[in-house]
Amino acid sequence: MGAATGGSGGRGSLRSMRAGTIVASNYLEMARLLAESFLAQHPDDTFVILVVDDLPVGDLGGATADDLPFDIVRLGDLDLAVDDLDMMKTIYDVMELSTAVKPSFLRLLLRDDPIAVYLDPDIYVYGPFGEVVAPVADEGIVLTPHVLRPIPRDGTSPTERNIMGSGIFNLGFIAVSPDAREMLDWWQERLLVDAVSDVEANLFTDQRWID
């Protein structure tokens, strides 16, 4: 599994939170584990999985869609125009497409709850987010930087150039409130065509834009 995300302390005065992830149907089982781990730590909140292809999801451990503790949505549920989605499907591979629709997915999560959290599907949640997400109420956006201190030039990875190529922040996690809607609109406009992975062109999917 990927990086574990958790926070110290409980939810405190946090308002309701809706978290989610984006996957192709062949990653749905991994997304299910993430959803269950999040809901185990946040039983009063909700989780949504966006499946970006049109393949049927089948059952998960014998459960039908009505039995699952999380919601499954499709690209057609987003607020993106059909023509824009058709174009994005044409120019992006699955990984790029999954990152390119992230701002619109966050807008969907904000429809019903005042805090929206995106998590990459290879994350497993070991504790409540608590104070990790709390600043979003005042700041509008919570991000995680790749590093907090200078990287030594000791010949090991990651290097400074790795970070410069992938971006200051890791967008495997982002939390937003309704105050971030203007930023989400700005971000989505750029990701319509510029969410490619092309380090030489100073682009790395959705991440470099958040610098």
Instruction: Please spell the DSSP secondary structure of 37-105, one letter per residue.
Output: HHHHH-TTSEEEEEE-S-S----BTTB-GGG-SSEEEEGGGSSS-HHHHHHHHHH--HHHHHHHTHHHH
Residues 6+ apart with CB under 8 A from 87: 192, 193
pLDDT tens track, the chain, 211 positions = 334 444 433 333 456 899 999 999 889 999 999 999 999 999 999 999 999 998 877 666 555 566 678 899 999 999 999 999 999 999 998 988 999 999 999 999 999 899 999 999 999 999 999 889 999 989 999 999 989 999 999 999 988 888 888 788 999 999 999 999 999 999 999 889 887 766 666 666 788 888 8
In this predicted structure, what is the pLDDT of residue 198?
A: 67
In this predicted structure, what is the pLDDT of residue 201?
A: 61
In this predicted structure, what is the pLDDT of residue 3?
A: 41
In this predicted structure, what is the pLDDT of residue 8?
A: 37
**Six-digit token pair at 145?**
């930087």
pTM: 0.86
In this predicted structure, what is the pLDDT of residue 11?
A: 36
3-state secondary structure of 72: strand
In this predicted structure, what is the pLDDT of residue 202?
A: 64
